[in-house]
Structure 1
Amino acid sequence: MGTPFAVIPVIDLRHGRVVRARKGERHSYAPIETPLAKGSEPGAVASALIRAAGARTLYVADLDAIVDGTPPDLAAVEAVARACPGVALWLDAGFARGPDVEAFLAAGLGRPVLGSESQEDAALVRAWRDRAILSLDSRGAERLGPAEIHERPDLWPDDVIVMTLARVGAGLGPDLSALAAVRARAPGARLYAAGGVRGPEDLAALRQAGAAGALVASAIHDGRIGARA
């Protein structure tokens, strides 16, 4: 029996609050307004998303770390962990140095996500492929980060996110062609689509395309995807 398809809720953190993502235009993200929770406190929004989606994994993007290069907001991540006991956390905090990955793993808060856009070369992916998740980031036709990371599937860990930033929060549907291209190069990897998921039909299309799961935010907040999606 195969591994169940995973709907993985997403929260984006900016200045200690959860913000609403759209098209990867991170500097314009505003604090989220959602019917699922009051306010934009990370723990409250995270636990509400987990309940709404019936999920076991949560993806956290620390935008201050990714965009501005600040240290990871571990206080916010710890608040999320307390609010979501038993939930596996995946954190993208712009990890670009081995000591930062090591410190996060030592904190025991979850698994680090290595975004290709944050890398100067493939060294970090190569060093931590046994414990990290790789995010292959793109914006439109532009592949973000070193070409070697995108072109060397032998460097990839077992879990790979196909992140299409221009589709995040835009309601354009997932990038099935990008997923297929990555699948053709790494048939044994577990692939997770990120960006553009609108509802159950898109989840079904991703399942059919061989994805192991999808990262979703807007469609859960808007009630288009729930625990029985």
Structure 2
Amino acid sequence: MTVIPVIDLLQGQVVRAVRGERQHYRPIDSALCASSDPRTVARILCEHCAAQQLYVADLDALQGGAGQLAVVRQLLEALPGIELWLDAGFADVSQARALDAALGPLAQRLVPVFGSESLRSRAALEACFAAPGRGILSLDRREGVRLDAAGCWEAPELWPPRVIVMTLERVGSGAGPDLDTLRQLAARSPHTRLIGAGGIASAADLTRAGAAGASAWLVASALHDLGLPRMPA
């Protein structure tokens, strides 16, 4: 099971997720990192996980504000061996392409995450993955309700090779992974690489998630709370 560390960015700082309730996020309080500086936290998390990918949620952009382009640039520059997965509330592929253009050569290591909570329409979904590319789809839900104006959940024929299964109320909760949803999606699209998000508290949770069909999991709180041991490089 691959662990992909997560940082949630808000106004230039790393914050701690609380069940996906973004209005309650506060600067990170961590047993692993004595800082909320994005580059410091990202470096420590990636080293702890021996990670090759880092997931970044730009909460300013996700809540309709200006994206944190400068911080994203700094992260790419500070972590030259890392592929950065960015969820910045992209409503369509043109917004991701505009970010690529702003980042220049650094964009080669940026992977846009297109969240079902943000995509504006089925046409937007189709355009994101019409040709092979770096993009990832995130299937988002909260309290059993799909956040999905574009109909992403019901269109597995349009899914890219990598799909995140995001259960927002479990993010930062330590309540355990949403294995039922994972199994359902694995059965519907057995060739899709599913990446879970939310609920992990321990290595045992990761083992159960892998048995249910996840190839990787996005993790933050369990790392900051020392719930997962340091992984060998």
**2:50 is matched with which residue?**
54
d(CA) in 2 for partners of 1:134 and 1:98?
A: 12
Structure 2 counterpart of 1:117: 117
Q: Is contact 2:92–2:125 with CA below 8 Å preserved after alignment? A: no
Question: For residues 104 and 212 of structure 1, what CA distance do their matches in structure 2 show?
Answer: 28
Q: Do structure 1's residue 26 and structure 2's residue 22 form an aligned pair?
A: yes
Deviation at 1:212, TM superposition (A): 1.0
Structure 2 counterpart of 1:170: 173
Please name the residue that 1:91 is paired with.
86
Over the residues paired in the alignment, what is the CA RMSD in angstroms? Answer: 1.4
Shift of 1:140: 1.3
Q: Give the CA deviation at 1:57.
A: 0.6
Structure 2: stretches of 5+ with no match in the other structure: none
- Letter of the structure 2 residue corresponding to residue 6 of structure 1: T
1:149 aligns with 2:152: yes
Q: What letter is aligned with 1:93? A: A
- Following superposition, the deviation at residue 147 of structure 1 comes to 6.0
| 8 Å Cα contact 2:33/2:224 also seen in 1 | no
Give 1:39's aligned amino acid: S
- Measured against aligned partners, the alpha-carbon deviations of 1:13-71 in whole angstroms (never above 9, x if no partner) come to 0011100001011011001122322321111111111111111110000001001x223
Q: Give 3-state SS (helix, strand or coil) of 2:74's partner.
A: helix
2:184 match: 181
Once residues 122 and 66 of structure 2 are traced to their aligned partners in structure 1, the CA distance between those partners, rounded to angstroms, is 21
Determine the structure 1 residue equivalent to 2:203. Answer: 200
Matched residue of 2:210: which SS? Answer: helix
User: Which residue does the alignment assign to 1:72?
Assistant: 67
Amino acid at match of 1:98: V
TM-score by length of 1: 0.93
Q: Which amino acid aligns with 1:208?
A: A
Instruction: Give me the whole-angstrom Cα distance separating, in 2, the residues matched to 1:199 and 1:35.
Output: 15
SS in 1 for 2:28: coil
1:195 maps to a residue whose letter is: G
C-alpha displacement of 1:125: 2.3
Aligned partner of 2:226 in structure 1 is: 223
The CA distance in 2 between the partners of 1:54 and 1:117, in whole Å, is: 30
Is it true that 1:126 corresponds to 2:126 in the alignment? yes
Identity of aligned residues (%): 48
**Count of residue pairs the alignment pairs up:** 224
Corresponding letter in the other structure for 2:81: G
The reply to whether residue 12 of structure 1 matches residue 15 of structure 2 is no
- Alpha-carbon distance, 1:191 to partner: 0.2
Q: Is the 8 A contact 2:200 2:206 kept in 1?
A: yes
Residue 7 of structure 1, CA deviation: 0.4
